[in-house]
């Protein structure tokens, strides 16, 4: 049996509500899940919140709350917002969930029992923002390059995972499997980091008397797990590790989506932890870049956040969703600008797609009372549709929404061009051209249908509305069947719908 398609987002720190960064990854995961689900595969989509660690304790204290009260409130907020923008996750996991506690303890006990953990003294530069010790070489003028703050010098006795013992193995995995980390630039980055000799073992504990807000280390309750060594395990918890018999099968199909700032934890800590526990590696890690504003990363600490609910209110969520999926080339940084969003939405959705839909259904109404005519002839659209269907599939399986949408818009463009060159309004004037007119209109409508089916995982709402206007039922049948050219039967009654994406007027 084929592995299920299991896709994960990072677990977000719930010390601020979702913004463009977390929304982007979550929307991508939702889109990939929907695509694989439509293709008839079993899917599992996991997202959630990362609730332990000093950062949450500090944020809770700032609001006069206990950590648990604080994270309860924020986790509910995340779920509410994902619900409002139509994210269909299977599970919203919280690192404070009881089964996660069990998974973390089981995994670390296994690693410990295999002789991979040591107790040591350590003094180092600790950045609370990163929730980790930074090594000398990472500092820029004595500061954490990400948070622009000076780390604290801390001394502690702690448990260390012998991570460096797995580096040779990890290097060979990365060399032998070019698909393990995508895009390739991040695989190369990890390889050079591993080869540089700058990495050491990993401190996995925090003394409980200093930080009680964490999962106890199972063999020594005077310590809790360091937040990253707990949070990463969520991907296993979500698969049902260690108690559900199906966990291994689910795990065998896992793809992680992350932003580039958490590459090291996912590309080095996580695979070595898995290897030390005797668990197979993930299928792949897909790494995206930053959404910037005026070339600066959009972030909680800088306060230049883009709120998905405000975007929804201003433009409609699917317009924003389209912009996210179409604009960012996966792996590269992208500048967010509302002017760019407006331009993109107006050009692609209001003009190209909107006009195609509007004029094809209107003309069918005018010339054939809205009923799809029987026809004999063919159009060049079928060939384009079949090629684009293949291209979309290839790009989606390579986790590239931008390319998939660019391919899909080639089909939108081809359909518009076909209408322009065939000029049905001219054919309609000549009774001898009735058959030709029937062919042109039926082929155009068929093409609109295929476009709507392909659009489903990207813009589920708009796609369903288009399919309904074509007298069909959304999501009915397998993707392969629905993408077959010629499924729109003669005699189907279509109906006009309201404009899906009104032109955004800039005031």
- The residue range among 104-112, 183-191, 218-226, 292-300 that interacts with ligand MSP, by the rule CB under 6 A, is 292-300
Residues 297-316: x/- map of binding to ligand MSP (CB under 6 A)?
A: xxx-----------------
Closest distance between ligand MSP and the C-beta of residue 272, in Å?
A: 15
By CB under 6 A, is residue 357 in contact with ligand MSP? no
- Among residues 35, 159, 290, 317, the one that binds ligand MSP under rule CB under 6 A: 290
- The residue range among 159-167, 210-218, 291-299, 485-493 that interacts with ligand MSP, by the rule CB under 6 A, is 291-299
- The residue range among 18-26, 33-41, 189-197, 470-478 that interacts with ligand MSP, by the rule CB under 6 A, is 18-26
- Among residues 67, 253, 259, 316, the one that binds ligand MSP under rule CB under 6 A: 259
By CB under 6 A, is residue 262 in contact with ligand MSP? yes
The DSSP-derived string for 455-473 is HTTTSHHHHHHHHHHTT--
In terms of Cβ atoms closer than 10 Å to its own Cβ (0-12, 13-18, 19+), residue 382 is middle
Q: How many CB atoms lie within 10 A of CB 318?
A: 23
- The residue range among 10-18, 106-114, 155-163, 483-491 that interacts with ligand MSP, by the rule CB under 6 A, is 10-18
457 backbone φψ class: left, alpha, beta (φ>0; ψ -120 to 50): alpha
Closest distance between ligand MSP and the C-beta of residue 12, in Å?
A: 4
469 neighbors 497 (Cβ within 8 angstroms)? yes
By CB under 6 A, is residue 488 in contact with ligand MSP? no
- The residue range among 26-34, 242-250, 289-297, 357-365 that interacts with ligand MSP, by the rule CB under 6 A, is 289-297
Instruction: Give the N- to C-terminal CA distance of the chain in Å, as an integer.
Output: 55
* Rg of the chain, C-alpha, whole Å: 26
Cα distance between residue 217 and residue 238, in whole Å: 20
The DSSP-derived string for 192-249 is HHHHHT----EE-EEETTT--SSPEETTEEEEEE-HHHHHTTHHHHHHTTTT-TTHHH
Cα distance between residue 89 and residue 43, in whole Å: 10
Residue 506: strand, helix, or coil: coil
Cα distance between residue 377 and residue 384, in whole Å: 16
- Among residues 6, 133, 247, 291, the one that binds ligand MSP under rule CB under 6 A: 291
The per-residue b/e assignment along 83-100, b for 16 or more CB within 10 angstroms, e otherwise, is: eebebebeebbbbbbeeb
Between the alpha carbon of residue 317 and those of residues 90, 306, 357, 462, 498, the distances in Å are 21, 13, 20, 11, 17
Distance of CA 477 to the CA centre of its chain: 25
451 backbone φψ class: left, alpha, beta (φ>0; ψ -120 to 50): alpha
Q: Which residues pair with 126 in a beta bridge?
A: 133, 152
By CB under 6 A, is residue 21 in contact with ligand MSP? yes
Of the pair 189, 261, the CB lying nearest ligand MSP is at 261
Of the pair 16, 464, the CB lying nearest ligand MSP is at 16
Return the residues of window 37-76 that contact ligand MSP according to CB under 6 A.
50
By CB under 6 A, is residue 29 in contact with ligand MSP? no
Closest distance between ligand MSP and the C-beta of residue 97, in Å?
A: 14
Of the pair 272, 469, the CB lying nearest ligand MSP is at 272
What element of type H or E holds 289?
A: none
By CB under 6 A, is residue 87 in contact with ligand MSP? no
Beta strands 5-12 and 43-49 are: parallel
- Among residues 6, 12, 112, 368, the one that binds ligand MSP under rule CB under 6 A: 12
Of the pair 81, 262, the CB lying nearest ligand MSP is at 262
Cα distance between residue 331 and residue 179, in whole Å: 14
- Among residues 4, 5, 7, 10, the one that binds ligand MSP under rule CB under 6 A: 10
- Among residues 217, 232, 356, 438, the one that binds ligand MSP under rule CB under 6 A: 232
By CB under 6 A, is residue 208 in contact with ligand MSP? no
Count of residues binding ligand MSP (CB under 6 A)? 21
Closest distance between ligand MSP and the C-beta of residue 25, in Å?
A: 6
Closest distance between ligand MSP and the C-beta of residue 154, in Å?
A: 21
Of the pair 46, 414, the CB lying nearest ligand MSP is at 46
- Helices and strands (H and E) in the chain: how many: 21, 16
Return the residues of window 234-253 that contact ligand MSP according to CB under 6 A.
234
Closest distance between ligand MSP and the C-beta of residue 220, in Å?
A: 23
Cα distance between residue 249 and residue 4, in whole Å: 8
Closest distance between ligand MSP and the C-beta of residue 100, in Å?
A: 11
Of the pair 267, 298, the CB lying nearest ligand MSP is at 298
Interacting residues with ligand MSP (CB under 6 A): 10-13, 21-22, 24-25, 50, 231-232, 234, 258-259, 261-262, 290-291, 297-299
């Amino acid at each position: 049996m084929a592995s299920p398609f299991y896709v994960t987002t990072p677990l977000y720190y719930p010390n601020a509500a979702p913004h463009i960064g977390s929304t982007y990854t979550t929307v991508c995961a939702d889109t990939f899940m929907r695509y694989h689900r439509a293709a008839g595969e079993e899917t599992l989509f996991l997202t959630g919140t990362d609730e332990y660690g000093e950062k949450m304790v500090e944020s809770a204290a700032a609001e006069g709350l206990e950590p648990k009260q604080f994270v309860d409130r924020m986790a509910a907020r995340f779920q509410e917002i994902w619900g409002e923008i139509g994210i269909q996750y299977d599970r919203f996991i919280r690192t404070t969930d009881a089964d996660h506690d069990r998974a973390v303890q089981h995994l670390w006990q296994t690693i410990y029992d295999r002789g991979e953990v040591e107790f040591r003294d350590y003094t180092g530069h600790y950045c609370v923002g990163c929730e980790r010790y930074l090594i000398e070489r990472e500092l820029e003028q004595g500061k954490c390059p990400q948070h622009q703050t000076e780390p604290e010098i801390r001394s502690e006795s702690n448990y260390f995972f012998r991570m460096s013992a797995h580096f040779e193995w990890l290097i060979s995995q990365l060399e032998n499997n070019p698909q393990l980390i995508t895009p390739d630039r991040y695989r190369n980055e990890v390889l050079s980091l591993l080869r540089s000799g700058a990495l050491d073992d990993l401190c996995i504990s925090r003394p409980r008397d200093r930080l009680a807000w964490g999962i106890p280390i199972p063999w020594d309750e005077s310590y809790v797990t360091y937040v990253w060594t707990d949070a990463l395990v969520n991907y296993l918890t979500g698969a049902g590790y260690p108690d559900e018999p199906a966990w291994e099968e689910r795990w065998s199909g896992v793809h992680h989506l992350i932003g580039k700032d958490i590459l090291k934890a996912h590309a080095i800590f996580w695979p070595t932890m898995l290897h030390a526990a005797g668990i197979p590696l993930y299928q792949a890690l897909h790494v995206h870049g930053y959404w910037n504003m005026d070339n600066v990363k959009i972030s909680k600490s800088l306060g230049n956040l883009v709120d998905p609910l405000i975007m929804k209110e201003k433009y409609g969520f699917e317009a924003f969703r389209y912009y996210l999926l179409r604009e960012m080339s996966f792996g590269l940084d992208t500048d967010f600008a509302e002017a760019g969003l407006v331009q993109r939405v107006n050009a692609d959705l209001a003009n190209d797609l909107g006009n195609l839909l509007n004029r094809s259904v209107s003309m069918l109404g005018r010339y054939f009372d809205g009923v799809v005519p029987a026809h004999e002839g063919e159009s060049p659209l079928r060939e384009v549709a079949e090629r684009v269907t293949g291209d979309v599939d290839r790009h989606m399986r390579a986790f590239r929404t931008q390319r998939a949408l660019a391919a899909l818009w080639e089909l939108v463009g081809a359909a518009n061009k076909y209408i322009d060159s065939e000029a049905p309004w001219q054919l309609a004037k000549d009774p001898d051209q009735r058959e030709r007119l029937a062919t042109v209109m039926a082929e155009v409508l068929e093409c609109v249908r295929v476009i709507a089916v392909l659009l489903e995982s990207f813009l589920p709402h708009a796609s369903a509305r288009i399919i309904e206007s074509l007298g069909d039922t959304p999501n009915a049948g397998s993707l392969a069947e629905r993408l077959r050219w010629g499924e729109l039967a003669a005699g189907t009654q279509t109906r006009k719908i309201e404009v899906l994406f009104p032109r955004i007027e800039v005031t």
